[in-house]
Amino acid sequence: MMPKQPMNVLTTKPSPLSTMVVMLILCILGFYALHFPHSSTPSENLSHLEKLFLSTSSNSTISSYLRALTMHPHLAGTKPASDTTRYVLNHFTSLGLSAHTTTYTTLLSFPVRSSLSAHFNDGSSVSLRLTEEASGAGVVAAYHAYSPSGAVHAPAVFANYGRQRDYRALAAMGVNVSGCVVVVRKGGEMGRGAVVERAEVNGAAAVLVYGEGDTWRKGFERGHVMRGGIGDPLTPGWAGVEGAETLGLEDREVLKRFPKIPSMPLSAEVADTILSSLGGVHVPLHWRGTLRSKVRHVGPGPTLLNFTYEGEKKVATIQNVFAVIKGSEEPDRYVLLGNHRDAWTYGAVDPSSGTAALLDIARRFSALLGLGWKPRRTIILCSWDAEEFGMIGSTEWVEQNLINLGSKAVAYLNVDCAVQGPDFFVGSTPQLDNLILEVTNKVKDPDSDGVSLYENWAAGGGGNNIQRLSGVDSDFAPFVQHAGVPSIDMYYGRDFPVYHTAFDSYNWMAEYGDPFFHRHVAVTGVWGLLALHLADDPILPFNYVSYANELQLYKNTLSNLIDQKISLHPLTLSIEEFASAAKEADDEIKKLRLQETEGCFVDMKKRALNDRLMLAEKGFLDADGLQGKQWFKHLVFGPSSDHERINFFPGISDSTITSAGVSERERLASIQHEIWRVARAIRRAASALRGEFT
């Protein structure tokens, strides 16, 4: 249905008079502190800066940005997406920021037509809806991007979450899914692409994926099912710029990226119609605890499904938008803040809550610039395109700028969906953990009076549960897993019921997600303060002792999972070496921070130390990449084929999976080799931290 008219829960964008009052207050508070930004001591200056940045927050302004961004759908590669591009670019330039776009030609995928009918055992049949009712002008029909076209008439079978162990459970009950239309519920820690791949491996003819929930049961979750990497499939490893080499659609490497069986999202309501009609054996007891659908039997049949899907792959133009705030002392060192702009439908949560936050950071940084502030290092605000098709915009840009990122990027700070609901979540590479804890202690908690975000988050165990960036589910992936840039990803709310559906509208956000936009303000506050520290602290706020502790934890966990015939001694020694280098770097940081004298020599020592802190993450990269996924270079954080075991050391994890035709001796040798590869990577990172030749 059409999104309802936005509720007037907030005032609209501030009037010119109120803006002038805010600016006057800022001038009184900050002129002396900011007019000569590097004349006072750094800690004193940054404290003033933090207060000024936080004092300019405005929930009504963020609300107005979100309202504008969600007036129409803006799927990548379409005319409305170009309008949203212009809106973001004009916003940056209207603030006096230096802004530009980069353009790429990439392969996208769109639906042409689809149908689904169920034929029941009593001879009756029904045509089933495949998109939301009255979803509104311009909303793309529900589909899986890059699904092949196909027509299937076959029995339905329920396969729980579609994991390999779910197929094993079906086989143990005598259920054969070969040639069937598999119906799978979302979840189980597997992405939709992996779900389709598992179904294909097990012989299914097609896959239908639905999301369970007590509310919003009429929504269809769009998404892509491309596999084997991210970015444009026609330019793997290089950017799709004008005149670039492109592979053909029939190229073997391109074909590997696409599934061979068709798939489609279903609503929970439509799925119930199918699942409640199945016969055969009963649903296994261990599946039932979390089931909300009406399924009692798994099939196959007796219900037959007649499913057709026709899609088309199109070469389309996408555009990233950037605003650049030039650094005053180290303009060749870059702090990047990124959010993707494209959406499957209206995209109030995903991604426009993050886009609204990015626009507000631009406004607040512009206000600080007006008072005379200049960051020490260059800040780039990045608005990515075509993330929903596989992080294409950010990946193409990373591939185009790989060398400069390798030597000049300080950190990448990602916010995809700023707000999905309650509770704060953050993931990072471990050297940024301490900075996260420090900054969240300075931002007011949006849901509790009188406490910081950190206090409320830590009370729920959050402070000890910073996630890691091994997933391939947002724009941090190319920065961490291909370029080795220290990164952070953060958001409020883990899941939301209107994800990728036509109901992801401003109205849903204003009624359910964040009615007063206080969570948006909190995320924007944390995002901005992280950027200010990374851009202005004379010594980068990195702590590799945290990284060493994390690596030790991974080694300990691994020791309980792998065969005792495998030696972890290379890993043990390399982690000890890394821990020693991290301690030395930490001691050096403390000494330099205590040094009160200024001058060229001290500045050079800080610059040299910063370079080592910045480059150490690149040590974890391996030129050969992960086995079978060579584009992914990071040996500590990256996608594993075993989606259900561990989220670190992906190469080691993949090597433990037994392949057909591989002897036990070969399997153990493969695991040992991957352990040596990780050990060498950790030693490279330790060497980078020390900054000396052997």
Query: Which residues are part of the catalytic machinery?
Result: 387
Is residue 492 classed as helix, strand or coil in its secondary structure? strand
Cβ contact 620:636 at 8 Å: yes
User: Which run of H or of E encompasses 605?
Assistant: helix 600-615
Distance, in Å, from the CA atom of 162 to the CA atom of 190, rounded to the nearest integer, reads 8
Token pair 């940045």 is found at: 53
User: Which run of H or of E encompasses 169?
Assistant: helix 164-172
Distance, in Å, from the CA atom of 341 to the CA atom of 620, rounded to the nearest integer, reads 30
Is residue 539 classed exposed, middle or buried when 0-12, 13-18 and 19+ CB atoms within 10 A define those classes? middle
The dihedral sign for the CA sequence 246, 251, 253, 255: positive
Side-chain-side CA neighbours of 31 within 13 Å: the count stands at 5
Distance, in Å, from the CA atom of 438 to the CA atom of 629, rounded to the nearest integer, reads 36
Cβ contact 588:580 at 8 Å: no
Distance, in Å, from the CA atom of 430 to the CA atom of 551, rounded to the nearest integer, reads 9
Beta strands in 149-270 (DSSP E): 150-158, 181-185, 206-210, 223-224, 263-266
Any residues with CB less than 8 A from the CB of 512 and at least 6 apart, and which? 421
In DSSP notation, 316-340 reads: EEEEEEEEEE--SSEEEEEEEEEEE
Cβ contact 234:246 at 8 Å: yes
Residue 358 tokens read as 């990015």
Cβ contact 133:218 at 8 Å: yes
Structure-derived torsion over alpha carbons of residues 271, 273, 279, 281, reported in degrees to the nearest 10: 40
424-428/487-492 β-pairing: antiparallel
Rounded to whole angstroms, what are the CA distances from 398 to 74, 253, 333, 607, 618? 23, 21, 16, 24, 14
User: Which run of H or of E encompasses 22?
Assistant: helix 16-34
CB atoms within 10 A of CB 7: 12
Any long-range contacts for 551-558 (C-beta under 8 Å, 24+ apart)?
551/575, 551/578, 551/579, 551/636, 551/682, 552/579, 554/636, 554/646, 554/648, 554/649, 557/646, 557/648, 558/646, 558/649, 558/652
Distance, in Å, from the CA atom of 482 to the CA atom of 693, rounded to the nearest integer, reads 25
Any residues with CB less than 8 A from the CB of 680 and at least 6 apart, and which? 574, 622
